A and B are shown apart, each in its own frame.
Chain A
Amino acid sequence: GAVVSQHPSWVICKSGTSVKIECRSLDFQATTMFWYRQFPKQSLMLMATSNEGSKATYEQGVEKDKFLINHASLTLSTLTVTSAHPEDSSFYICSALEAVYGYTFGSGTRLTVV
């Protein structure tokens, strides 16, 4: 079956620093990867869509300079939260899309900015 590895599972960082989250499809090549953000007791909100080798498409209201997405290969996408602040504390989940398997989700990253 399709497996997506996301790490770290949780991270605590100081305000003003940057944090990188990795999303890797282990046994398939993903045509597209997605990044979601989820606040407590809320639904998953799509942040951006990325395709290998091209710039990510950000949803309205998401700061592209703050949330840097790199999709360097068909199996790896990274999300970097730059100059993190406490309001960026959230649960971030990636998803990889493949034509047969559909959407496969990573296990999520819980980010706490102190």
Chain B
Amino acid sequence: AQKVTQAQTEISVVEKEDVTLDCVYETRDTTYYLFWYKQPPSGELVFLIRRNSFDEQNEISGRYSWNFQKSTSSFNFTITASQVVDSAVYFCALSEDFTGGGNKLTFGTGTQLKVEL
């Protein structure tokens, strides 16, 4: 069974602070994919990143960076110099190998990030 844990329910920071959102996962599969999504108040899910289990390289995209560590089953997300527009709920998610079709995405409970002026 797959499981994704986001222990931080809500985080509040002041603009320009760095913030890290934690994600810990459980799976028995050797091939799996990890995702991060942003959900602003409008409700739509905004895709941020997809990472497969064989690629442990950290990734940076602008102010966003991700740290994938298989040894601790974690896939943490850091926002550098946070902005008010970053305020949203962020979901970490896990799937088995979907390239053959059919496998569902398991979501964590989400972290509400509030960035204040």
Q: Which residue of A lies closest to B43 (CB)?
A: A108
- Mark out the residues of chain B between 102 and 117 whose CB falls within 8 Å of any chain A CB in the assembled complex: 102-110, 112
Chain A residues positioned under 8 Å from B57 (CB to CB) = none
Total A-B contacts with CB atoms under 8 angstroms apart: 58
**Partner pick for A99 among B35, B98, B106, CB 8 A cutoff:** B98
The number of residues on chain B lying at the interface, defined by a beta carbon within 8 Å of a beta carbon of chain A, is 25
Chain A residues positioned under 8 Å from B44 (CB to CB) = 105-108
Chain B residues positioned under 8 Å from A106 (CB to CB) = 44
- Mark out the residues of chain A between 36 and 75 whose CB falls within 8 Å of any chain B CB in the assembled complex: 38, 41-44, 46, 49, 51
Interface size class of A (residues with CB under 8 A): 20 to 34
Please state if B102 and A97 are interface contacts (CB–CB under 8 Å): yes
> In terms of DSSP, what is the predominant structure of the interface of chain A?
strand
- Mark out the residues of chain B between 52 and 110 whose CB falls within 8 Å of any chain A CB in the assembled complex: 91, 95, 98-110
For residue B32, CB closer than 8 A to chain A, the reply is no
Please state if B95 and A103 are interface contacts (CB–CB under 8 Å): yes
Chain B residues positioned under 8 Å from A51 (CB to CB) = 101-102
Chain B residues positioned under 8 Å from A41 (CB to CB) = 112
What would 12 more interface pairs be, CB under 8 Å, given A51-B102, A103-B95? A32-B101, A42-B110, A49-B102, A51-B101, A93-B43, A95-B105, A99-B98, A99-B100, A103-B105, A105-B37, A107-B44, A110-B43
Q: With the chains together, A46 CA to B106 CA distance in Å?
A: 8
